[in-house]
């Protein structure tokens, strides 16, 4: 019987273990945490958005430059296959009003419990509290360090790595794999925070009053970096939320290129500039600036304060100038929150380093999956979908390699 070592007990690693075991391979999963799927369980605290129901082309567009590489993997194991997999585990899914897909229980725990039971039935062994520290001296085996410092060397017919990126390191993914891989000649793009809040130098008055307040249904735009709509949240340090994450790549690129980034906030995305200007012509002589904006446009206190913050002073009084500000309030981003606070990471092993089956070109029999690869996507189910899709693809690639290597 062929043997496989899977390093990493997140979604990509566990689904790879399942695919391998179903093919008759003896699989052992090594995970550094006391229990597997820690980050998956954390994602489930808010409802476990496992995938998205939008069509193939819009979904592929969410993966940016990596879309072409991920396309065949999403075609082979996409949203429909993932939803069927959930149903087989006794967790049917439903499509929310936003098109996002959730388990009917709205939780990750029942799914993980059923999944681990299935893996056990398939004979998959899970070794916990085992930290991968690199390869053996001859390069043919793997070295793990246990909780008490004991070192174990493991050899198998194939190896599949799914160690994640570097976000939420307390849950197991700390990016510690980068250096050993680089030492084996694997090109790795630096890991950077993705789906992360941004830092803004708010005034004490603004942050003190509006920390935790949502900016509802705004449209955020980064020059040359796309736009997104939704609810952003003011934090003491800056901004968080789905629309911020969706334009995160553009923000990061601007910061890396220019050292600064101006984020334009459209407070009324359903109205055109001239429509806003017309409404602003209805000003009573005694109205203050705030009253004028509230009565004519329906802006709430945080929106009005954001306009004042953008100008660091008094609001304009001319309707068109004020309308222009409402449609594109400039917010200067001075940085992102640290990678430890990110939901996911960008960067990783370059696509040129792997073949179509996700085997490393210079390390035959070694496959990679999940966030170790150089791709990123916004929240909304796209992250988990790609982790599952690449996990399945790498496992199928490993099976094919084993079949070709068989005497």
Per residue in 244-259, pLDDT tens? 999 999 999 999 999 8
Per residue in 267-297, pLDDT tens? 999 999 999 999 999 888 888 889 999 999 9
Average pLDDT value for residue range 36-40: 90
Arithmetic mean of pLDDT over the chain? 94
Per residue in 53-111, pLDDT tens? 999 999 999 999 999 999 999 999 999 999 999 999 999 999 998 999 999 998 899 99
**Both 324 and 279 in a single domain?**
yes
Q: What pTM was computed for the model? A: 0.92
Could you give the C-alpha distances from 398 to 68, 82, 116, 120, 132, in angstroms and in order?
Answer: 21, 20, 21, 21, 20
Q: Which of 274, 272, 319 is nearest to 293 (CA)?
A: 319
- pLDDT of res. 42: 82
Strands 238-240 and 226-234: antiparallel
**Both 356 and 302 in a single domain?**
no
Identify any residues that bridge with 101 across adjacent strands, giving them in sequence order: 51, 95
The CATH number that applies at residue 103 is 3.50.50.60
**Both 234 and 121 in a single domain?**
no
Instruction: Estimate the crossing angle of helix 319-327 against helix 289-297, to 10 degrees.
Output: 70
**Both 172 and 187 in a single domain?**
yes
pLDDT over threshold 70, residue 44: no
Which residue segment(s) compose the domain that 91 sits in? 3-193+342-405
**Both 298 and 381 in a single domain?**
no
Question: Please, which pLDDT band fits residue 207 given cuts at 50, 70 and 90?
Answer: very high
Per residue in 2-24, pLDDT tens? 999 999 999 999 999 999 999 99
Last residue of a domain, one of 288, 305, 336: 336
**Both 164 and 33 in a single domain?**
yes
**Both 21 and 75 in a single domain?**
yes
């Amino acid at each position: 019987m062929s043997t496989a070592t899977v390093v990493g007990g997140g979604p990509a690693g566990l689904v790879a273990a399942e695919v391998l075991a179903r093919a008759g391979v003896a699989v052992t999963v090594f995970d550094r945490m006391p229990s597997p799927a820690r980050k998956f369980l954390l994602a489930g605290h808010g409802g476990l958005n496992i995938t998205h129901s939008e069509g193939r082309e819009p979904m592929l567009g969410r993966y940016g430059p990596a879309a072409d590489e991920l396309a065949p993997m999403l075609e082979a194991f996409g949203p429909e296959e993932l939803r069927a997999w959930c149903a087989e585990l006794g967790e049917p899914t439903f499509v929310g009003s936003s098109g996002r897909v959730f388990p009917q229980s709205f939780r990750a725990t029942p799914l993980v419990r059923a999944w681990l039971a299935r893996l056990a039935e398939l004979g998959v062994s899970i070794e916990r509290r085992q930290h991968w520290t690199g390869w053996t001296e001859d390069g043919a085996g793997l070295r793990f360090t246990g909780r008490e410092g004991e070192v174990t060397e493991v050899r198998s017919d194939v190896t599949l790595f799914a160690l994640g990126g570097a976000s939420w390191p307390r849950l197991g993914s700390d990016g510690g794999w980068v250096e050993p891989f680089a030492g084996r000649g694997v090109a790795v793009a630096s890991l950077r925070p993705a789906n992360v809040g941004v830092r803004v130098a708010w005034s004490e008055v603004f942050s003190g009053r509006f920390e935790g307040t949502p900016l509802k249904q705004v449209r955020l735009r980064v020059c040359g970096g796309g736009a997104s709509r939704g609810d952003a949240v003011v934090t003491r340090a800056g901004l968080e939320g789905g629309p911020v994450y969706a334009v995160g790549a553009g923000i990061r690129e601007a910061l890396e290129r220019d050292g600064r980034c101006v984020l334009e906030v459209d407070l009324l995305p359903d109205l055109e500039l001239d429509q806003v200007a017309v409404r602003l012509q209805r000003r009573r002589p005694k109205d203050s600036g705030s009253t004028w904006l509230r009565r004519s446009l329906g802006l709430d206190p945080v929106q009005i304060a954001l306009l004042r913050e953008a100008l660091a002073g008094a609001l304009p009084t001319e309707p068109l100038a004020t309308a222009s500000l409402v449609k594109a309030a400039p917010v200067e981003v001075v940085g992102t929150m640290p990678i430890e606070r990110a939901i996911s990471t960008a960067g990783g092993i370059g696509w040129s380093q792997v073949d179509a089956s996700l085997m490393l070109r210079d390390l035959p029999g070694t496959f990679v999956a999940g966030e170790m690869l150089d791709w990123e996507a916004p929240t909304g189910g796209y992250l988990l979908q790609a982790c599952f899709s690449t996990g399945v693809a790498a496992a199928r690639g490993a099976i094919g390699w084993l079949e070709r290597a068989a005497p």
